[in-house]
Amino acid sequence: MQNIFDKIGSIGLMPVIVIEDAEAAVPLAEALIAGGLPLAEVTFRTAAAGKAIAAMAKVPGLLLGAGTVMKPEQVDQAMDLGATFALAPSFIPKTAEYALKKGLPFVPGVLTPSEMGAALEAGFSVQKFFPAEPAGGAPFLKAVSAPVRGIRFVPTGSIDLAKLPSYLQISSVLAVGGSWMVAPQLIANKNWKEITRLAAEAVAVVQKIRPAA
The full set of domain ranges for the chain reads: 2-207
Beta strands in 70-148 (DSSP E): 85-87, 106-107, 109-110, 126-129
- Verify whether residue 102 is a known catalytic residue: no
What CA–CA distance (Å, rounded) separates 135 from 125? 20
**Whether the Cβ atoms of residue 128 and residue 100 lie closer than 8 Å to each other:** no
Stated length of the chain: 213
The one-letter amino acid at 194: E
Catalytic residue among 23, 30, 41, 190: 41
Residue 212 makes CB contacts below 8 A (sequence gap 6+) with none
**Whether the Cβ atoms of residue 83 and residue 63 lie closer than 8 Å to each other:** no
The one-letter amino acid at 179: S
Residue 72 — very low, low, confident or very high, per pLDDT cuts 50/70/90? very high
Residue 2 — very low, low, confident or very high, per pLDDT cuts 50/70/90? low
**Whether the Cβ atoms of residue 205 and residue 36 lie closer than 8 Å to each other:** no
DSSP conformational letter for 46? S
Supply the pTM of this predicted model: 0.96
- Verify whether residue 23 is a known catalytic residue: no
Residue 172 — very low, low, confident or very high, per pLDDT cuts 50/70/90? very high
Residue 123 — very low, low, confident or very high, per pLDDT cuts 50/70/90? very high
What value does the mean pLDDT take over residues 35-64? 98
Model confidence at 213: pLDDT above 70:
no
Catalytic residue among 23, 94, 101, 128: 128
**Whether the Cβ atoms of residue 23 and residue 187 lie closer than 8 Å to each other:** no
What is the homologous superfamily of the domain 2-207 according to CATH? Aldolase class I (3.20.20.70)
Residue 40: exposed, middle, or buried by beta-carbon count in 10 A (0-12, 13-18, 19+)? buried
